[in-house]
């Protein structure tokens, strides 16, 4: 692998030498780019001796550019690693600055970028730094959590650069995952290309009156991740979304609904065109029989209030009961006896497949990760905890496999 190692100003810069040595020893190629600040802490010659390449430090050095221009250098790398990454570097990357060679390279690359922050504990905890970290993560940069311990300034806390061995292992892990995703991606595209996927996501809101409703904790992240990955694999995706605050994934047709009845109507309208239906929405089982048209008032003499709820249509079971039905995938969100309840839903609702997930106690809902168990009539596969996009990839691959074995 070709690694571009950015070294920024900080006492941890000397540890980047050990990191260079680890990469070289494992057979990787390394080119080092230093900022002006980094050179205050360590000599470029040390990196040159270890990497076997002259260190790059200037955007405007004609000699350096003559060897390999900065755009060429950005393209040369398979992976960019910045260790240590100073608070200033995080801020510049977040802003999209290009006032030195390293930030310019990061702006001019489509390769993965991993950052190993190192700074004083208060600088790390500062709201500005944390906001920069959040934005960079959202943009897809991988940011390793800094280690805790005694700092160069004498303070104790979080902000130390992770050890070189830990950074090395994180880079190797990320590369392995990328290769696996690429391989899985090709198989996925072969199946999903031009398939029509209809998917529901998010909660439903059942109105009590104009200001109150019965809802649930679904954020829509699981269903949106599936829609995004399926669209990337070439499927034509229609996403029926309950009330969520998520952007529409690229290439996905989105229909917004609020209540279970609206979701049911949208599914009924769209399902005929679908090859596959995935019901990831957390649909309310009951709705208020008669929502009030005006805000309900609290009466002084009233200690209790009774709402009459009536059953909502079971959307996924309705789809599964149709003639010419698509391949139907349900979800089961359970707090206990997860697999038993999921298998019961698979049978009762006559689904082709179900994805069981544990919810409650910080699991399943709202988070960016999940751990699904995929269950069909003949197979059961438990997935390890990972990001919802990774879960989506495995789920779509499982569907492809189930349908291919039927064809």
Map the footprint of ligand PMT across residues 250-309, applying CB under 6 A. Answer: 260, 279-283, 285
Residue 376 CA to residue 343 CA, distance in Å, equals 9
Query: Least separation, in Å, of the C-beta of 264 and ligand PMT?
Result: 8
Helix orientation angle between 164-192 and 221-232, rounded to the nearest 10 degrees: 70
Whichever of 183 and 380 has its CB closer to ligand PMT, that residue is: 380
Residue 164 CA to residue 23 CA, distance in Å, equals 10
Residue 11 CA to residue 9 CA, distance in Å, equals 7
Binds ligand PMT by CB under 6 A, chosen from 213, 327, 365, 398: 365
Residue 218 binds ligand PMT (CB under 6 A): yes
Six-digit token pair at 93?
């990357």
**Contact yes or no for 80/141 (Cβ under 8 A):** no
Residue 364 binds ligand PMT (CB under 6 A): yes
Map the footprint of ligand PMT across residues 69-98, applying CB under 6 A. Answer: none
Nearest to residue 167, comparing CAs of 203, 142, 196? 142
Residue 221 binds ligand PMT (CB under 6 A): yes
Q: In this chain, which stretch among 110-118, 145-153, 186-194, 220-228 interacts with ligand PMT, using CB under 6 A? A: 220-228
How many residues make contact with ligand PMT (CB under 6 A)? 27
153 is catalytic: yes
* Angle formed at CA 113 by CA 109 and CA 116, multiple of 5 degrees: 145
Residue 357 binds ligand PMT (CB under 6 A): yes
Residue 332 binds ligand PMT (CB under 6 A): yes
Residue 246 binds ligand PMT (CB under 6 A): no
Nearest to residue 225, comparing CAs of 251, 249, 259? 249
Q: In this chain, which stretch among 139-147, 172-180, 329-337, 398-406 interacts with ligand PMT, using CB under 6 A? A: 329-337
Measured between its terminal Cα atoms, the distance across the chain in Å is 40
- Would residue 180 be called left, alpha or beta, if left means φ above 0 and alpha means ψ between -120 and 50 degrees? alpha
Residue 222 binds ligand PMT (CB under 6 A): yes
Q: Which residues are catalytic?
A: 153
Residues making contact with ligand PMT (CB under 6 A):
202, 218-222, 260, 279-283, 285, 312, 314-316, 330-333, 345, 357, 359, 364-366
């Amino acid at each position: 692998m070709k690694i571009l190692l950015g070294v920024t100003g900080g006492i941890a810069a000397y540890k980047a030498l050990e990191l260079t040595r680890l990469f070289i020893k494992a057979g990787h190629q390394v080119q080092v780019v230093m900022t002006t600040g980094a050179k205050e802490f360590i000599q470029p010659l040390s990196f040159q001796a270890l990497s076997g390449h002259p260190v790059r430090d200037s955007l405007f050095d004609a000699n350096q550019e003559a060897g390999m221009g900065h755009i060429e250098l950005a393209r040369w790398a398979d992976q960019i690693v910045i260790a240590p990454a100073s608070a200033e570097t995080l801020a510049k990357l977040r802003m999209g600055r290009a006032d030195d060679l390293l930030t310019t390279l990061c702006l001019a690359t489509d390769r993965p970028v991993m950052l190993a922050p190192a700074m004083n504990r208060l600088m790390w905890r500062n709201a500005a730094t944390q906001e920069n970290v959040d934005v960079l993560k959202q943009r897809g940069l991988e940011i390793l959590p800094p280690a805790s311990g005694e700092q160069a300034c004498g303070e104790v806390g979080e902000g130390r650069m992770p050890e070189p061995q830990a950074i090395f292992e994180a880079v190797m892990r990320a590369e392995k995952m990328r290769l696996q995703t690429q391989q899985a991606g090709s198989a996925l595209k072969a199946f999903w290309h031009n398939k029509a996927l209809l998917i529901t996501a998010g909660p439903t809101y059942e109105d009590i009156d104009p200001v109150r409703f019965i809802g649930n904790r679904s954020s829509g992240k699981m269903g949106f991740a599936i829609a995004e990955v399926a669209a990337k694999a070439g499927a034509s995706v229609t996403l029926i979304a309950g009330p969520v605050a998520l952007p529409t994934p690229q290439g996905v047709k989105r229909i917004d609904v609020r209540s279970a009845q609206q979701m049911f109507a949208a599914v009924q309208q769209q399902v005929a065109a679908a090859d596959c239906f995935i019901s990831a929405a957390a649909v309310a089982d009951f709705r208020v029989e008669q929502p009030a048209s005006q805000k309900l008032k609290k009466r002084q003499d009233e200690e209790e209030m009774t709402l009459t709820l009536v059953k909502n249509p079971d959307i996924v079971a309705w789809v599964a009961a149709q003639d010419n039905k698509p391949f139907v995938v349900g979800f089961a969100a359970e707090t206990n006896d997860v697999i038993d309840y999921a298998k019961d839903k698979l049978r009762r609702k006559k689904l082709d497949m179900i994805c069981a997930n544990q919810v409650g106690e910080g699991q399943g809902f709202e988070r960016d990760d999940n751990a699904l168990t995929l269950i069909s009539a003949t197979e059961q596969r438990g997935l390890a905890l990972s990001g919802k996009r990774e879960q989506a990839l495995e789920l779509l691959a499982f569907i492809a496999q189930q349908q291919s074995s039927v064809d």
